[in-house]
Amino acid sequence: MKINQFARLEVDFETELTELQRIHFIETTDIVTQSPTEVLAALLHLCYPEMPTQQGVDFKLSTLLVDAHTNTYDFIQNEHEISQAHFYNLAMQLLQFEVDLDFSLDNPTAAMSKMALPFIAAMQLTTKDLLHAWYLLLTTHTKNGQVFLDYLTTKGYFAELSKQTDLPKPLFFNGKAQAVFDTTQLIREVVYVESDQDTDHDGKRDLLKAEILRPVETDDGLSVPVLYTASPYNQGTNDEDGAKLTHNVDVPLQKKPVITPTLAELDAAQPAKVDLPPKRVPNGVATHAEQSFARESSYTLNDYFLARGFAVVYAAGIGTMESDGFRTTGDPEETTSTVAIIEWLAGDRQAFTNKTDNDLIEAWWSNGHTAITGRSYLGTLAIAAATSGVKGLDTIISEAAISSWYDYYRENGLVIAPGGFQGEDADVLAEETFSRQKQASDYYPIKADWLASLEQMGRDQDRETGNYTPFWDARNYLKQLKNIKADIMMIHGLNDWNVKPKNVWKLWRGLQSLPVQQKLILHQGQHIYINNFRSVDYTDIVNLWLSNKLMGVDNHANDILPDVLVQDNTKPETWDTYTDWGNSDAYLTYHFDENQLLEKASATNTVQFTDHLTDDAFSAYKSDYATWRHDLMTATDSPMSSNRLLFKSAPLDHELVLGGRPQLKLRVASSQDVGLLSVRLVDYGKAKRLSVSPQLISRHALDEGFRWREDDLKEFALTKASDAKLISLGHINLQNLANAYQTNEIVPNQFYDLTLGLQPTVFRLLKGHQVGVIVYATDMEMTVRGNQAITYQLDLANCSIELPLQSK
């Protein structure tokens, strides 16, 4: 077990004392004059806030050993020297570690070192040492995924304290906001923000429903910052109608006409803004909302901050239930809709108490500082909002987010499905999230217009060519990066084949020259949240970040948090820090050899494979991707054996870490006037590897406050040994050799040179492992599947792959 903390702040002893006093672990700094035993006793007596009596606390202390023969209750009855072992035996039990299972009473710090838990060096603790060690303990993670002070909080520490004393709210400890707000008293309100758009063309500006949760203290004058989650899903989804729209992918790859537009032409071809209806004229002004809600579609990270003095706002945007407008899947109208909420929170836009009466309501409780959070589409809208440069948006936390929708649904002139969602496209997602449809009273009057709009989107997205067109150019946030004023924290899974890593990579690289703070976390998961993992203090990291960005706490978040934090793919619970991603100046280059090995310099030689499968094999693979994947990557005798070329390097003679975007150069010919190539970069070598889905460690272990909502504690575990692991992949239409928006002709059997950037990665290759490259055509999970009888040839003398090495 390893517990990695990056958000622990080191402060000087005076500050430690001040902070201990602030949370009432000590009442006066004069305590340094007392004996260590007295002080320890006083501190320990505050560790069981759940106990109604002193006897109850004493009993709990009697269950903790300071050494094999002495319990803590007995120990503090008399003056004692407190050794390092005494203290850390006790501390480890307080942190929920078990004697003999997790550590030995003989040498607790040995186990702590292994687990990366911090401890002080003094072998005999003075009172000052003890107070310092106690401060450190309060900021150290327990066995169950929370800082010790948070654990005490879940047992009622602050709830009890606030019965006895007026706690400052918000309250900060070690640079982070503490859970001192009573979540049973949260105020829930609905407002309707008027946006500068009329996407349903009903002659009225779109009103956007926002669900607000704010601490009751705001009613008494407290101004709070906002965590805003723009989730198109959160008013419900039309799963069945979305599924009906899903496109048939068992269609042949079509020949495309040759076109050579410029990027400027694409940009100019975007639809003009239509004239806007006038703003609503306010009627009255309300201070409190007229509408509320019972249960929002919540997000545990937001719940955590609700207990810590942040308001949370959920808004689903245009086309969602009880808002106006139509869904547009990532276009500028959607950005406008996302940004409107922030403008209202900053006092720069009007909102109303309902959709009819034009009674104004202001976000008078907001301190004007907002962050957007969320994963996938939600994180995408965070990026969208940031590119607007809107005032009041201080930071975004974009998790597994799309930075350009072309990189979500397309690649190099091909329709490429998000992993797990073959046949999905922009129109499918629009229908999925068009939750106005769920309320027939609202839907019936606009049904015809909506279906027409959906049809138009179906045409504009242009599945026929797969090219980068004005439709996709309008949905490319990377064009607007220069506008960004918000600091950005990005989180992405290196095994996320849904929103592929290219999305975060391009954002990260694109931000390098901008004067904003940026942090990057890359984990080994798929398309998941990481705020409930044991091995990394992600939630603390976000707390440090938001306490700094939204509440102005001078906690050095920019300096303390690593710029790039990457979970290791070979060792469990291991996180490495780097200063950058993609600034590589060293490469490992392999050339393709005729013996289907990489790296031997090749004589001129061509090899070939055909893309056609028997009907039986084709249809079996269609319904069983796992077998297809296995046959593609590891089977030596399967229907896929002749439908791919598999190149393997010699075993590596030393470990190395890839970092960045692999570049493949191929000289290729197709037997027809169309063609596509898919490529996988694979790590070959028998090894136990991390599961890409996290495993449950403990159900309900993470209370987000005190008797508030709970999350499960999880972690990636090592699985049974496997032979191979996908590192990266890429796809290209041979009619798009230059780029995704211009097309070229393909003469059958003529060779062409292409360069293909694969999905960027950070990947540790172990000694003895082999690097593999698989070249194939149809990707059952991602490309169209015409099962065409196309034969592809590679001219090996002109094929190579360049793998960037991660620099420290």
For the annotated catalytic residues, the residue numbers are 376, 496, 527
CA dihedral 133, 134, 140, 141 (to 10 degrees): 130
| 55 contributes a contact to a copy of itself by CB under 8 A | yes
The answer to whether the CB of 454 falls within 8 A of the CB of 327 is no
The answer to whether the CB of 697 falls within 8 A of the CB of 714 is yes
Quote the CA–CA distance of 12 and 708 in Å, as a whole number: 33
| 354 contributes a contact to a copy of itself by CB under 8 A | yes
Binding mask 712-751 for a copy of itself (x = CB under 8 A): --------x-------------------------------
Of 105 and 566, nearer to a copy of itself (C-beta) is 105
DSSP for residue 355: S
| 62 contributes a contact to a copy of itself by CB under 8 A | yes
Beta-sheet pairing, 207-214 with 187-194: antiparallel
Instruction: Look up tokens 């089977």; give the residue.
Output: 635
The answer to whether the CB of 405 falls within 8 A of the CB of 460 is no
**How many Cβ atoms are within 10 Å of 791's Cβ, its own excluded?**
17
| 219 contributes a contact to a copy of itself by CB under 8 A | no
- Least separation in angstroms between residue 631's CB and a copy of itself is 16
First vs last C-alpha separation in the chain: 25
The answer to whether the CB of 779 falls within 8 A of the CB of 644 is no
| 289 contributes a contact to a copy of itself by CB under 8 A | yes
Q: According to CB under 8 A, which residues from 646 to 665 bind a copy of itself?
A: none
- Least separation in angstroms between residue 293's CB and a copy of itself is 6
Of 103 and 592, nearer to a copy of itself (C-beta) is 103
Structure tokens at 131: 């107070």
| 322 contributes a contact to a copy of itself by CB under 8 A | yes
**Count of residues of this chain found to bind a copy of itself when the rule CB under 8 A is applied:** 53
| Candidate residues 288, 571, 688, 767; the one interacting with a copy of itself per rule CB under 8 A | 288
Of 154 and 320, nearer to a copy of itself (C-beta) is 154
- Least separation in angstroms between residue 354's CB and a copy of itself is 6
| 707 contributes a contact to a copy of itself by CB under 8 A | yes
| Candidate residues 33, 63, 614, 739; the one interacting with a copy of itself per rule CB under 8 A | 63
| 554 contributes a contact to a copy of itself by CB under 8 A | no
Quote the CA–CA distance of 741 and 724 in Å, as a whole number: 35
Window contacting a copy of itself (CB under 8 A); options: 13-21, 49-57, 456-464, 743-751: 49-57
Of 289 and 486, nearer to a copy of itself (C-beta) is 289
Of 114 and 459, nearer to a copy of itself (C-beta) is 114
Q: According to CB under 8 A, which residues from 606 to 625 bind a copy of itself?
A: 623
| Candidate residues 18, 68, 270, 283; the one interacting with a copy of itself per rule CB under 8 A | 68
Of 33 and 695, nearer to a copy of itself (C-beta) is 695
SS3 category, 573: coil
Quote the CA–CA distance of 659 and 671 in Å, as a whole number: 35
E strands, 363-493, are 366-375, 393-399, 410-411, 414-415, 487-493
Of 154 and 728, nearer to a copy of itself (C-beta) is 154
Structure tokens at 238: 């039309």
Of 57 and 774, nearer to a copy of itself (C-beta) is 57
| 293 contributes a contact to a copy of itself by CB under 8 A | yes
- Least separation in angstroms between residue 294's CB and a copy of itself is 4
The answer to whether the CB of 386 falls within 8 A of the CB of 484 is yes
- Least separation in angstroms between residue 56's CB and a copy of itself is 4
Window contacting a copy of itself (CB under 8 A); options: 51-59, 131-139, 255-263, 744-752: 51-59
Instruction: For residue 580, give Cα distances in angstroms to 537, 541, 584, 808.
Output: 20, 18, 9, 8
Query: What sign has the CA pseudo-torsion 300, 329, 344, 288?
Result: negative
Element (H, E) at 507: helix 502-511
- Least separation in angstroms between residue 45's CB and a copy of itself is 15
Binding mask 746-785 for a copy of itself (x = CB under 8 A): ----------------------------------------
Quote the CA–CA distance of 714 and 701 in Å, as a whole number: 9
Quote the CA–CA distance of 724 and 688 in Å, as a whole number: 10
| Candidate residues 703, 711, 779, 795; the one interacting with a copy of itself per rule CB under 8 A | 703
- CA 217 distance to own-chain centroid: 31
| Candidate residues 128, 355, 556, 600; the one interacting with a copy of itself per rule CB under 8 A | 355
Of 624 and 745, nearer to a copy of itself (C-beta) is 624
**How many Cβ atoms are within 10 Å of 168's Cβ, its own excluded?**
11
Quote the CA–CA distance of 194 and 357 in Å, as a whole number: 13
| Candidate residues 10, 18, 59, 262; the one interacting with a copy of itself per rule CB under 8 A | 59
Q: According to CB under 8 A, which residues from 128 to 157 bind a copy of itself?
A: 154-156
Q: Phi/psi zone of residue 698: left (φ > 0), alpha (ψ -120 to 50 degrees), beta?
A: beta
Q: Taking every pair of C-alpha atoms in the chain, what is the biggest distance, in angstroms?
A: 92
Instruction: For residue 729, give Cα distances in angstroms to 407, 459, 680, 754, 761.
Output: 13, 28, 4, 15, 10
| Numbers of helices and strands, H then E, in the chain | 24, 33
Of 708 and 716, nearer to a copy of itself (C-beta) is 708
| 64 contributes a contact to a copy of itself by CB under 8 A | yes
Beta-sheet pairing, 410-411 with 414-415: antiparallel
Q: According to CB under 8 A, which residues from 72 to 131 bind a copy of itself?
A: 93, 98-101, 105
* 777: nearest Cα among 684, 682, 669: 669
**How many Cβ atoms are within 10 Å of 563's Cβ, its own excluded?**
15
| 243 contributes a contact to a copy of itself by CB under 8 A | no
Q: According to CB under 8 A, which residues from 413 to 472 bind a copy of itself?
A: 438-442, 444
Site of interaction with a copy of itself (CB under 8 A):
50-53, 55-56, 59, 62-65, 68, 71, 93, 98-101, 105, 154-156, 184, 188, 190, 238, 240-241, 288-295, 298, 322, 353-355, 357, 438-442, 444, 623, 700, 703, 707, 720
